[in-house]
Amino acid sequence: MAEAHEGPRGRYVPYAPRSGRLANINITVKREPGERGGGAGRDGGRRSWFKITIPYGKKYDKSWLLSSIQNLCSVPFTPVEFHYDHNRAQFYVEDATTASALKQVSRKITDRDNYKSLQNELKPEEIEQLKLCMSKRYDGSQKALDLKSLRVDPDLVAQSIDVVLNQRSSMGVVLRIIEDNIPELQSLNLGSNRLFRLDDLAELPLKAPALKVLDLSRNELKSERELDKVKGLKLEELWLDGNPLCDSFRDQSSYIRSVLHTWGDGHELPPPIAFDVEAPRRCRPASFPLFTKIPVFSPRYYSVYDSSDRQGLLDAYHDGACCSLSIPYGPHTPPRNSLNEYFKDSRNVKKLKDPTMRFKLLKHTRLNVVAFLNELPKTQHDVNSFVVDICAQTNTLLCFTVHGIFKEVDGKSRDSVRAFTRMFIAVPAGNSGLCIVNDELFVRGASPEELRKAFALPTPTPSSSPVPTLSAEQQEMLAAFAMQSGMNLEWSQK
C-alpha cells in the first residue's frame, strides 16, 4: 500500500488536465467477483465487494481525499485495502448501497486549490464560436455534419476554446446546437474524438431524429454494449473501424451480426448475404463452365448498351443488383471538364470520403441501375479492342473484367475516345446466359497507343466458302472446346 504523495509524471497525456486547470474528482465503481476477507455480510449472506477507483487520485493526500468523499457521501463507509495503482487511488467497500452512494459523489469534489475545472460548461461567447465552427463543418446539401477531430479544429484552437467531446459538458453543448439549428441532420461524423463511452449520446435520437449515418471511427470504444445507448437511432450506416471493440470478434460476419442485433426489431436476423437467383431466373445446371458464356454475353450486352435505348438491359441484371462508376486518377486522366458527365457520378473511394455520398452514388436494384446507365452519354464500343480477364469462378458465380475502348456519339464530347474497365459479378440466368449482380465501371482517358488502335478495321481472312451462323449453344460449345484444346476459335470450328 503506497500512501506517500507523489506528483504526476511529466509525460504528456492528451486528455489529462492542463497546467493550472485541475478536473473535478471522478469516482468509478466496479463490482468485484468472490469474497474479500471472507465471512458473511450484514444480512448473513455472502458479501458483495465493489472496487472504487479515483483516476489521478495519487496526487491527493489520502486523509484529505477520504475525508472529502465522506463529507459528500450520503452513507458512512469504511475503505478496505486503500492503495495506489499507477496514478489511480483504489479501495473496496462491502455492499451495493454504499457503492451506489459513492458513485453519486463522482465529479462533485473540487480539489483543495479550487482551480477551474475541465468539467465547467463553455462560456456564452465560446458557445457562439463553437456554433460558427460547426456551421463551417455542416454540408446543407447532404445534411451532413463533420465533427471529426473537433478538439484540434484550427478556429477553436486559435480562440483557445477547448471542446472535448468525451466530456459530458462539451457533448451536451454540441447536441443542443444540433437540436436548435439542424434537427434535420442525417449524417454525423464523430470520428477521432477519443470517445470511450456513448452515455452522452443517449439523447441523440431526440435531438436528431432523422439521423441515418453515424461515423464513430477511430475512437476508444471497447465494447459493443456501448451501442445499446444509441439504439434508438434509425441508422442505415454505422462506421466503427479503428475502435478496440472491432478486435473482439473472431471474424467480420460475427461483428456485423452483433451490430445488427443492437438495431434489431425482434425478427430473426437474415443469414449472411449470398447471391441468390429467383426461381424464374434459374436455369438447368450448366453443361459447360460459366466462362464459356462470356463470348456470347459480351457482344449481346454491348449491342444493347450502344443502342438508343438501354432499357433492354433490364433482363441482364438481377433484381438486387448494384452498380457504381469511378474515374481513376492517373497519368491518362483527362481534365475534369472533359469528363463532366462522368465525374459527377464518380465513386472513387480514394477521393470520396463522405460516407453519405458513397452510399448515394452506389446504385441499388436493377431498375435504379438501368436508369443510371440510361443517363450516361451514348456510346459506341470497339468490340475488337475487348480483352476479358476471369478473376474468379465457381459453379454458381463468375467474376470477370472487360477492358476496351469506346467513343461518345452525341453531346459536347462527341467522338471523344475513352478507355474503360468493367468488372462484372454474374450468376447463371434462366436463358442459359448470365445475370449481373454487381457492375463496376471505370472510365479514363485513352492513351496515345489506344487512340492509334481504336476502331481499326481488322484484316479480313480469305475464305473459300461462307461461314455458317452458329446458335448461342453452339457458340458456347465452341468456346469450351477452344479453351480446353488450346486452339483458337477459327481452328476449333473446323
- Cβ-proximal residues to 98 (8 Å cutoff; 6+ apart), any chain: 50, 75, 77
Highest mean pLDDT among 64-73, 145-154, 321-330, 468-477: 145-154
- 252 and 157 co-located in one domain: yes
Q: What is the CATH number of the domain that holds 324?
A: 3.10.450.50
Is the pLDDT at 241 greater than 90? The verdict is: no
What are the phi and psi torsion angles at 251 (to 5°)?
-155, 175
- Asked if residue 339 belongs to a domain, the reply is yes
- 238 and 289 co-located in one domain: no
Residue that is last in its domain, among 231, 262, 293: 262
- 133 and 237 co-located in one domain: yes
Q: What is the CATH number of the domain that holds 132?
A: 3.80.10.10
d(CA 121, CA 115): 14
- Span 325-352, mean pLDDT? 74
| Percent of the chain scoring above 70 in pLDDT | 69
Residue that is last in its domain, among 118, 144, 175: 118
Is the pLDDT at 10 greater than 50? The verdict is: no
Band of residue 282 on the pLDDT scale cut at 50, 70, 90: very low
- 195 and 102 co-located in one domain: no
**b or e along 271-292 (b: 16 or more beta carbons within 10 Å of the residue's beta carbon)?**
eeeeeebeeebeeeeeebbbeb
**If you count DSSP H runs as helices and E runs as strands, how many of each does the chain have, helices first?**
14, 15
Q: Provide the number of structural domains found in the chain.
A: 3
SS3 262: helix
- Asked if residue 492 belongs to a domain, the reply is no
- 143 and 209 co-located in one domain: yes
pTM of the model: 0.39
d(CA 438, CA 327): 17
d(CA 167, CA 195): 9
Find out whether 286 and 433 touch, Cβ atoms under 8 Å.
no
Residue 390 corresponds to which cell in the numbers above?
476471369
Is the pLDDT at 54 greater than 80? The verdict is: yes
Is the pLDDT at 491 greater than 60? The verdict is: no
DSSP per-residue letters across 439-471: EEEEEEEPPHHHHHHTTPPPPPPP-SSPPPPPP
Is the pLDDT at 32 greater than 90? The verdict is: no
The widest CA-to-CA distance across the chain, in whole angstroms, is: 110
- 110 and 190 co-located in one domain: no
- Asked if residue 462 belongs to a domain, the reply is no
Kindly report the average pLDDT of the chain as a whole number. Answer: 77
- 132 and 50 co-located in one domain: no
- 148 and 98 co-located in one domain: no
CA-CA distances (angstroms) from residue 229 to 106, 166, 219, 257, 276? 21, 15, 16, 17, 35
- Asked if residue 212 belongs to a domain, the reply is yes
Is the pLDDT at 9 greater than 50? The verdict is: no
- 161 and 258 co-located in one domain: yes
Least confident of 21-25, 91-95, 175-179, 417-421: 21-25
Give tens-digit pLDDT for 448-478. Answer: 888 888 887 655 555 444 545 666 666 666 6
- Asked if residue 267 belongs to a domain, the reply is no
- 285 and 400 co-located in one domain: yes
Continuous segment of H or E residues that includes residue 139:
strand 138-139
CA-CA distances (angstroms) from residue 471 to 290, 302, 326, 474, 477? 17, 18, 36, 5, 10
Band of residue 148 on the pLDDT scale cut at 50, 70, 90: very high
- Asked if residue 401 belongs to a domain, the reply is yes
Nearest to 296 by CA among 428, 417, 491, 442: 428
Q: What is the CATH number of the domain that holds 13?
A: 3.30.70.330
d(CA 103, CA 82): 17
- 316 and 438 co-located in one domain: yes
Structural domain harbouring 367: 279-456+468-482
- Asked if residue 272 belongs to a domain, the reply is no
- 347 and 447 co-located in one domain: yes
- Asked if residue 494 belongs to a domain, the reply is no
Residue that is last in its domain, among 230, 262, 294: 262
Residue at grid coordinates 463496376? 440
Is the pLDDT at 29 greater than 60? The verdict is: yes
Distance of CA 422 to the CA centre of its chain: 24
Is the pLDDT at 488 greater than 70? The verdict is: no
Highest mean pLDDT among 66-80, 111-125, 130-144, 241-255: 130-144
Band of residue 15 on the pLDDT scale cut at 50, 70, 90: very low
Is the pLDDT at 479 greater than 70? The verdict is: no
